[in-house]
């Protein structure tokens, strides 16, 4: 894969907290991986060509889009309907929380391909949610979102971010440089334990 991570465009601003510096969204150009055998190379969800993705603050009006995306994304791992139903509350983003949770989206041609939330106050924050649209998984969108969220956290003065990960996503977070520090109970499923990871983000 040949990916160029050169920001070139600047749009709106993510302003978090009275004393925090604004976090600038960035348009990032890269060449995505295309799933093998994929014919629909021009789909905004699939890509497969040099393209630009805007990493920007989510809008309150997008709360339902984010919640629905999170549920579809979680289903990527093959969980059954009962399990997903139990996760629904935790995967719901309320419009009134979008700014407080510092939600950021990856936007390609007006389509939200994924999002993160960056929660808490420095020095220790939480990567609260991190979901990529199933059709866009494996194309580098997760890395773009993760790196931009880490950069935003650094700009806001966070020293580290903790992550309560879905077990299937742990290898992704390790690939991003996070390390396992323990386990934590699931907020949705009684008795389920999730891997807890941390990434140091201040040099
Ligand atoms: C986890 C998730 C966010 C990763 O996003 P993605 O867009 O698929 O990840 P990327 O394509 O950017 O992959 C980035 C790197 O991580 C690696 N990676 C991704 N998933 C991996 C996995 N399951 N195992 C090992 N490595 C993995 C890739 O090989 C890639 O490495 P490279 O950039 O050095 O080539 C995505 O799979 C997802 O949304 N899953 C469903 C929902 C979920 O579980 N979210 C996390 C909740 S805690």
Pocket of ligand 1 (CB under 6 A): 73-74, 76, 130-132, 137-143, 165-166, 168-169, 171-172, 175
- The model's pTM is 0.85
Please give the number of the atom of ligand 1 that sits closest to the Cα of 145: 12
179-185 vs 193-200, strand pairing mode: antiparallel
Question: CA 64, CA 93: separation in Å to the nearest integer?
Answer: 7
C-alpha gyration radius of the chain: 16
Domains, the chain, in order of start with CATH, read: 6-200 (3.40.630.30)
Asked if 131 and 69 touch (Cβ cutoff 8 Å), the reply is: yes
Ligand 1 pocket test, pick from 53, 90, 130, 142 with the greatest ligand atom count within 8 Å of Cβ, gives 142
Better-predicted residue by pLDDT, 78 or 41: 78
pLDDT of 15 > 90? The answer is: no
Residue 29 — very low, low, confident or very high, per pLDDT cuts 50/70/90? low
Q: pLDDT-based confidence at 177, cuts 50/70/90?
A: very high
- What are the tokens at 39? 């014919």
* Residue 122 Cα distances to 9, 61, 118, 148, 178, angstroms: 28, 27, 11, 17, 18
E strand or H helix at 57: strand 50-57
> Which residue from 173, 170, 167 is spatially nearest to 149, judged by alpha carbons?
173
| pLDDT tens digits for range 77-89 | 999 999 999 999 9
Which band of pLDDT confidence, cut at 50, 70 and 90, is reported for residue 19?
A: very low
């Amino acid at each position: 894969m040949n990916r160029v991570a050169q920001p070139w465009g600047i749009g709106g601003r993510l302003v978090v907290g009275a004393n925090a510096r604004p976090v600038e969204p960035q348009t990032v150009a890269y060449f995505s991986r295309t799933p093998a055998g994929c014919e629909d190379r021009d789909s905004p969800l699939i890509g497969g060509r040099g393209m630009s993705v805007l990493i920007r603050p989510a809008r309150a009006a997008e709360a339902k889009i984010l919640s629905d995306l999170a549920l579809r994304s979680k289903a990527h791992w093959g969980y059954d309907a009962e399990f997903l139903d139990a996760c629904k509350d935790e995967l719901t983003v309320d419009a009134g929380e979008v700014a407080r949770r510092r939600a950021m989206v990856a936007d390609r041609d007006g389509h939200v391909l994924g999002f993160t939330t960056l929660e808490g106050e420095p020095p220790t924050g939480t990567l609260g949610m991190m979901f990529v649209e199933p059709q866009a998984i494996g194309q580098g969108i997760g890395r773009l979102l993760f790196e931009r969220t880490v950069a935003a956290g650094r700009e806001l003065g966070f020293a580290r971010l903790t992550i309560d990960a879905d077990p299937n996503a742990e290898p992704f977070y390790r690939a991003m440089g996070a390390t396992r520090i323990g386990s934590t109970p699931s907020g949705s499923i009684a008795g389920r334990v999730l891997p807890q990871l941390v990434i140091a983000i201040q040099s």
